[in-house]
Amino acid sequence: MKFIIDDKIPYIKGALEPFGDVIYLPGPKTTPEIVQDADAIVTRTRTICNESLLGNSSVKMIATATIGYDHIDTEYCKQAGIEWTNAPGCNSKSVEQYVLSALLVLAEQKGFELKGKTIGIIGVGQVGSKVARVCELLGMNVLLNDPPRERAEGPEQFVSFQHIIAKADIITFHVPLTMQGEDATFHMADTLFFESLQQCPIILNTCRGEVIDTFAAETAIERGQVSGMVMDCWEREPQIDQNLLQLVDLATPHIAGYSKDGKANGTTMSVQAISRFFNLGIDDWQPQGVDLPEQTKIHLNGLNRTEEAIIREAVLFTYDIREDDQRLRTQPELFEQLRGDYPVRREYPVFHITHEGVDEKILEKLSKLGFNIEN
């Protein structure tokens, strides 16, 4: 057998070698000539898997180690008899961590408390659901908008897009990119969206760049229609709009889901899917040697400090979004390199908290976030 694997997928080396030839390549170098006699491709979002790539190939299976799959022409794959799989939810905890870091940083910078603020979550799938949970944990008023789920489950827990436009202090997007149909998300945040905002909210985009119209976003910031913006996903990546980069509060190179945990999960799901499809017998494969940060112990002193300040210290110890923001602003032309050479980021469960003077209710919230609390 022959497997073509994106060389930026971590922890996968050695997994498929016992079953055939394995070729590791950068996404852009995955060409029709390379895949012509391949059986399977393990990829990321930068490789467009369509008829141009696959038309004369023997590829039977595509596994993308990502939540998103808009880089796969699923209709063509169906016609060509090519199976495909993505990794739903693999990095959802990582995006949750990113959003919480962003919100805590902006609250401190702009001088407000998250508790009592109203956040509108557009798209309540794997990621949006987790963001909703942590926002509720911090005492925020959470509004959920997800028309497909509302149609399937009933309207009880959901509100309209217009309701969020009218009421939300913060709006965060967690939708797939869809171009057509009643739930199309392309340019969901357009000029009309920004002109309709009633609370001058903070906007976050951690899903797909094309969900927000770049020109409309720039105009909204310049006109004061929004009070802040966090941009992880950009139109026309990696050639991002330099004007928007300067205007937003926090800018990162599409790395919200880039924790080592999320990447390991995506790799795991891809390898296991290929094993099931080709009957390789490694359906329970797990990656080894997932990197750890230099420090995994956090000491918190709660004396004369607010709950939010204590939680902020713990969260930013695990991931401080300002470091990614600084790297991108310093060298925006290295967008792809900043993604490919991303530093070690781990999620809350690898961190252990020791404490003094911290209220039990705060410790309980930190535990619910995923931290290990030591007595």
Which residues are part of the catalytic machinery?
208, 237, 254
Dist CA 145 CA 171 (whole Å): 11
Q: What DSSP character marks residue 319?
A: -
Q: Is 20 left (phi over 0), alpha (psi -120 to 50) or beta?
A: left
Q: Provide the CA 137 distance to its chain's centre, in angstroms.
A: 20
CA–CA dist 142, 157 (Å, integer): 10
Q: What angle do CA 313, 319, 323 make, to 5 degrees?
A: 105
CA distances, 96 to each of 15, 89, 221, 227, 373 (Å): 29, 11, 25, 21, 20
Count the Cβ atoms, other than its own, within 10 Å of residue 296. Answer: 13
What's the rounded Cα separation, in Å, for the pair 84 and 68? 12
Radius of gyration of the chain from Cα atoms?
Answer: 21
Q: How many CA atoms lie within 13 A of 279 on its CB side?
A: 0
Strand spans (E) along the chain = 2-6, 21-25, 40-43, 61-64, 83-85, 118-122, 141-145, 170-173, 202-205, 228-231, 250-251, 297-301, 352-356, 372-373
Q: How far is CA 274 from the centre of its chain?
A: 23
Strand order in the sheet with 40-43: 21-25, 2-6, 40-43, 61-64, 83-85
Closest CA to 6 of 41, 53, 54, 56: 41
Nearest to 226 by CA among 252, 205, 197: 197
